[in-house]
């Protein structure tokens, strides 16, 4: 019998910040991770490219036996998810794709913050997906979206924790408006940013809680599977995990090991 797994799709290795949090919360579920490192970053891509690349990733994950796909990339969730859900998935009965934006907003809105600063790629910032989703749930929360266009490439280049990275983070955050600086919560709305959480924390004068999405998305997925037992019961649970990237498996392995502190065995995928 073919296993029904959970798939994770990201533009690169950043989505591990989501898949690994899900692994901790739901350790039995079989998962397949796909990072499109050969075409990353996605943060400055056009809408049609985001849709095509993300859909290619979904089709590949379907082939690998995934029934439920988490689009772990914010840029792809903001730019491609709706079109995929409305126009492509109806031809694939039983297959589902969820993004990270709605679950992140649902979880964060429960925490009582009034002024949330959202740090993201340019694609996510331009889409205004976060202010829109927060407004649907709680319009009294002020949500300010700020693009940090240079960070992903530096993370992919292994610069997290270096002086170059700290300088860049400081330079970008110095451009925040007084109202943005006054936020009572910061959301890292890009899967790569948890890799530089310490560098970001270091750049703020006062202590503001900084949230990354791994735990928020994992909590939301646990809740989703509890509310949808018909989906949960169809998923295979042997604790099997597989990791793929479209670019160099060796490079992905190194970045993953630096961040996670343990070895992830990546294989190369061809989309």
Binding pattern to ligand DGL, positions 55-94, x when CB under 6 A? ------------------xxx-------------------
Which residues are bridge partners to 34 per DSSP?
9, 244
DSSP helix, strand, coil percent of the chain (3-state; round to 5): 50, 15, 35
Q: Which residue, 144 or 213, is less far from ligand DGL as judged by CB?
A: 213
By CB under 6 A, residue 191 contacts ligand DGL: yes
Least distance from ligand DGL to the Cβ atom of residue 162, Å: 19
Least distance from ligand DGL to the Cβ atom of residue 155, Å: 8
Q: Is residue 200 within 8 Å of residue 176, measured between CB atoms?
A: no
Binding pattern to ligand DGL, positions 25-54, x when CB under 6 A? ---------------xxxx-----------
Contacts of 199 (CB under 8 A, 6+ apart): 160, 161, 165, 166, 169
Binding pattern to ligand DGL, positions 126-155, x when CB under 6 A? --------------------------x---
Q: Which residue is nearest to ligand DGL (CB)?
A: 43
**Cα separation, 43 vs 63, whole angstroms:** 26
- What does the chain come to in residues? 271
Q: Is residue 192 within 8 Å of residue 152, measured between CB atoms?
A: yes
Least distance from ligand DGL to the Cβ atom of residue 4, Å: 25
Instruction: Clarify whether 58 is annotated catalytic.
Output: no
Q: Which residue, 40 or 98, is less far from ligand DGL as judged by CB?
A: 40
**Cα separation, 16 vs 8, whole angstroms:** 9
Considering only CA atoms, which of 23, 12, 75 is closest in space to residue 49?
75
């Amino acid at each position: 019998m073919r296993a029904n797994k959970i798939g994770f799709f990201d533009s690169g290795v950043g989505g591990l910040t989501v898949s690994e949090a899900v692994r901790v919360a739901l350790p039995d579920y079989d998962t397949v991770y796909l990072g499109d490192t050969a075409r990353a970053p996605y943060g400055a891509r056009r809408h049609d490219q985001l849709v095509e690349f993300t859909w290619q990733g979904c089709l590949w994950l379907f082939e690998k036996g995934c029934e439920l796909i988490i689009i772990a990339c914010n840029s792809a969730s903001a730019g491609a998810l709706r079109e995929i859900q409305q126009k492509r998935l109806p031809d694939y009965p039983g297959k589902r794709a969820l993004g990270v934006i709605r679950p992140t907003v649902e979880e964060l809105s429960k925490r009582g913050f009034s002024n949330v600063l959202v740090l993201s790629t340019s694609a996510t910032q331009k889409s205004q997906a976060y202010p829109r989703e927060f407004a649907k749930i709680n319009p009294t929360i002020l949500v300010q979206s700020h693009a940090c266009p240079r960070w992903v490439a530096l993370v992919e280049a292994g610069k997290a924790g270096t002086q170059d990275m700290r300088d860049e983070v400081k330079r970008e955050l110095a451009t925040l408006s007084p109202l943005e600086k006054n936020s009572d919560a910061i959301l890292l709305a890009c899967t790569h940013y948890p890799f530089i959480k310490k560098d970001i924390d270091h750049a703020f004068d006062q202590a503001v809680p900084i949230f990354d999405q791994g735990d928020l998305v994992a909590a939301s997925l646990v809740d989703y599977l509890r509310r949808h037992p018909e989906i949960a019961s169809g998923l295979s649970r042997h604790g099997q995990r597989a990791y793929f990237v479209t670019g160099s498996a060796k490079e992905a392995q190194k970045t993953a090991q630096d961040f996670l502190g343990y070895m992830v065995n990546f294989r190369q995928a061809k989309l």
